[in-house]
């Protein structure tokens, strides 16, 4: 009798784990390419609307801006605390990371039944700091996470391969490639400082992908900030900076 009871409990527990599932549906990144207006590019399963971001070739671009996201996901336990999308930029051969992963946390509503929705309006210029006449790979993926109960993160990542699109900068928009071998970055007393030789394009982002400052400066960049983590991009190369 004791063996039977133990087996019965195990089946009940296994069933609970089986049905405490989560998933994704109708998931979009909004992109404006070549000032042609905002378009919906889907990742994950085909929602029968918009264009697949996976294997999309934007061709030669003079503007390429992520303007937001519209993500939908579900969880049987009705317990999702939020979510975010990520992007990074790689070389055309996929071997070199040009822009390190940047996360943008979206605004969540729900649940409606078991369903949630995450949206965010942003303005992320993907061409800033990149070289002229160069082909790159844009990688995008997303996740949502649990609230009070267990369940862990739910990833939308194309089996960890990301959703990858291709684009090429034109001969006017990008920067001439320059070395950052002389770059020195420091963070102290509420300041982020970068010193280098010559003129360089510098952008400072929050860890959620919000642009704080963009400037073309000579020899030195200085910005007062609050304590926290930031992404400093110098001539297309991104560096994480923590200010305490």
- Round the CA-based radius of gyration of the chain to a whole number and report it: 21
pTM value?
A: 0.68
What the block records as the tokens of 239 is: 């560096």
Average pLDDT of the chain, as a whole number: 85
- Tell me how far apart the alpha carbons of residues 22 and 93 are, in angstroms, rounded to a whole number: 34
- Name the class of domain 184-243: mainly beta
Better-scored residue on pLDDT, 177 or 237: 237
198-237 pLDDT, tens digit each: 888 888 988 777 889 988 888 999 999 998 888 888 877 7
- Tell me how far apart the alpha carbons of residues 173 and 128 are, in angstroms, rounded to a whole number: 8
Q: What is the pLDDT of residue 17?
A: 40
Q: Which residue has the tokens 């970068």?
A: 194
21-169 adopts what CATH topology? Coagulation Factor XIII; Chain A, domain 1 (2.70.50)
Residues of the chain with CATH 2.60.40.10: 184-243
**How long is the chain?**
244
Q: Are 47 and 26 in contact (CB under 8 A)?
A: yes
Q: Are 45 and 25 in contact (CB under 8 A)?
A: yes
Residues of the chain with CATH 2.70.50: 21-169
Q: Tell me what the mean pLDDT of segment 80-99 comes to.
A: 91
What the block records as the tokens of 118 is: 């995450």
Q: What is the pLDDT of residue 239?
A: 82
Strand partners, 141: 86
């Amino acid at each position: 009798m004791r063996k039977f009871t133990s087996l019965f409990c195990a089946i009940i527990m296994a069933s609970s784990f089986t049905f405490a599932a989560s998933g994704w549906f109708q998931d979009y990144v909004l992109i404006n390419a070549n000032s042609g207006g905002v378009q919906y590019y889907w990742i994950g399963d085909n929602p029968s609307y918009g264009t697949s971001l996976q294997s999309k070739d934007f061709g030669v671009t003079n503007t390429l801006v992520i303007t937001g996201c519209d993500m939908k996901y579900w969880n049987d336990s009705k317990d999702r605390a939020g979510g975010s999308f990520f992007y990074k930029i790689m070389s055309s051969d996929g071997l070199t990371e040009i822009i390190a992963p940047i996360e943008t946390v979206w605004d969540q509503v729900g649940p409606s039944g078991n369903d949630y929705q995450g949206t965010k309006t942003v303005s992320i210029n993907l061409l800033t700091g990149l070289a002229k006449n160069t082909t790159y790979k844009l990688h995008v993926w997303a996740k949502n996470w649990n609230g009070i109960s267990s369940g862990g993160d739910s990833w939308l990542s194309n089996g960890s391969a990301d959703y990858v699109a291709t684009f090429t900068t034109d001969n006017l928009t990008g920067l001439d490639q320059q070395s950052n071998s002389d770059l020195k970055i420091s963070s102290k007393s509420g300041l982020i400082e970068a010193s280098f030789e010559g003129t360089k394009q510098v952008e400072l982002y929050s860890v959620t992908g919000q642009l704080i400052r963009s400037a073309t400066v000579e020899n030195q960049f200085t910005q007062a900030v609050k304590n926290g983590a930031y992404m400093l991009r110098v001539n297309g190369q991104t560096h994480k900076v923590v200010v305490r």
